[in-house]
Structure 1
């Protein structure tokens, strides 16, 4: 057991060592935590938050703009930190998880609506549907509407600040019994055929809406908070390059992180109060890093830069 755990965390350390800047091959590294299931569905749906998180991972991967942290590595860190794999974590805790995984952003949030709306279709006729174990009885044909609503936020792991948020809604209607597995109770994400149900399609529409908004905000924000690689005189080398949207002339505010504040009851990190100590302007951009000039003295590698 000890050897297995050592191997797991050796792999994590290797990942963070290779991508400590939050980038891999010029792409931002993103980690997605299971969303909280805050929907009031009464149909016995299981793993809703985890299922939607997997959909978000797939949709982000399909943009080919980002590198996604593997689920096994996330689970290992969550277990080590004794946290449930859920969106119910503070921004500071989420940032800590992301840093351990070498991620630039960590995405969390909630599923606020998930289920069937205005459905008069009985479930008895689903007894012949493959893989559902049979539900007995006879079905009545009626129009069925599925709806899914998501609220997500992206947290910069360097600053523990929310850099983007997005909401997405998805709806889908159907009046075909044979194609409608979505009303089956206790139906899990990942089961064969789910994506073709009206609820699967509604969830996909909601996810696509969220990803479109997040991607737009990521592009507009550029690199967000960046880290200092090295300092030579008045020149600061930062871990943001042309592949990350960095441009010559961009201006950053330099911050020094203050003392970490801990909750006296739970010991949970509440973040820190950062001090603004100066500014820096990008004068040279390469594909993977950039150089900024500053008139501020005493800058250290522990300081961080945030877009002005």
Structure 2
């Protein structure tokens, strides 16, 4: 009987341990990026912000254009997996690539900020691979040798807040990994090159995954802003709907466009003021893949191209 009681207590302890570990919102990663990614936060129920993701470019002497594409697509996959954002497929048509933004010193983002806001974009993510390299060490004794490869990457990621018309985040993320394999010293050259490319791609993906938590933290501080796309009679059409997380019955405040504020001494733009609240509308219906229809709930006149936010 005593043995049975001890057994039941042990089983109960293990069950509680498993339940507690499963309830954690995130999973920590080791320096090599080999543990699972940050899990999706289960309690998110807000409106999804629209992200303009510009193609990353590679400044390192290794990997070529392929590494920039790898970084961009990994970021897209991670963001889509979270379910808290909508990646704008037309972003590159508005802003171009990350390389173009860097070449212009970021001025292009400021110039196109209003166009992006009208398109419903909330923030722009762009960046570059500053460095990516791979090193190998091998035991030369015998026909079979052990080769150990070390790969590292350094990626710079920036965020431009469209509504505030300014850059709000920049960070450099480093990642490294290593791998071990046995190779015949007369091994196929093409296979070795492909192996090196795969390892470089992997370490770039690790760096991107390490950045996602920071992107989430920054995005939480940025406002979601939508737009009045059309007014037909008493029906007010909004450029965000079911896919963006808008719900029937939501109350949105309608705002006029804010004013750009400049430093009188330097002439540099500090940011954009909050626009005047003109009234509120209530969402009553959806239309299209991601649009909503509202009715005037309170306040005065609403115009096309006015901006909306959750009340």
Q: TM-score range by the shorter chain?
A: 0.5 to 0.7
CA distance in 2, matches of 1:283, 1:70: 27
Alignment counterpart, residue 107 of structure 1, candidates 125, 128, 131: 125
CA distance in 2, matches of 1:87, 1:304: 29
Matched, 1:68 2:89: yes
* Aligned equivalent of 2:241: 241
CA distance in 2, matches of 1:203, 1:273: 38
CA RMSD, Structure 1 to Structure 2 (Å): 5.3
Q: CA offset at residue 202 of structure 1?
A: 0.7
Preserved CA contact (<8 Å) 1:156 1:224: no
Alignment counterpart, residue 54 of structure 2, candidates 32, 35, 42: 32
SS at match of 1:229: strand
CA distance in 2, matches of 1:232, 1:32: 35
Q: CA offset at residue 277 of structure 1?
A: 1.7
* Aligned equivalent of 1:184: none
Q: CA offset at residue 230 of structure 1?
A: 2.7
CA distance in 2, matches of 1:46, 1:97: 34
Q: CA offset at residue 270 of structure 1?
A: 6.0
* Aligned equivalent of 2:151: 146
Alignment counterpart, residue 173 of structure 1, candidates 178, 182, 187: 178
| Greater percentage in strand | 2
SS at match of 1:206: helix
Q: CA offset at residue 289 of structure 1?
A: 1.8
Give me the TM-score of the superposition, normalised by structure 2.
0.52
Uncovered stretches (5+) of structure 2, i.e. residues with no partner: 1-48, 185-192
CA distance in 1, matches of 2:126, 2:153: 16
1:117-196 correspondence runs (5 A): 121=137, 143-155=148-160, 157=162, 160=165, 170-176=175-181, 193=194, 196=197
Give me the TM-score of the superposition, normalised by structure 1.
0.53
Q: CA offset at residue 148 of structure 1?
A: 2.8
Q: Bigger CA drift: 246-255 or 58-67? A: 58-67
Q: CA offset at residue 245 of structure 1?
A: 1.5
CA shift in 2, pair 1:99/1:266, >3 Å: farther
Q: CA offset at residue 286 of structure 1?
A: 0.8
SS at match of 1:286: strand
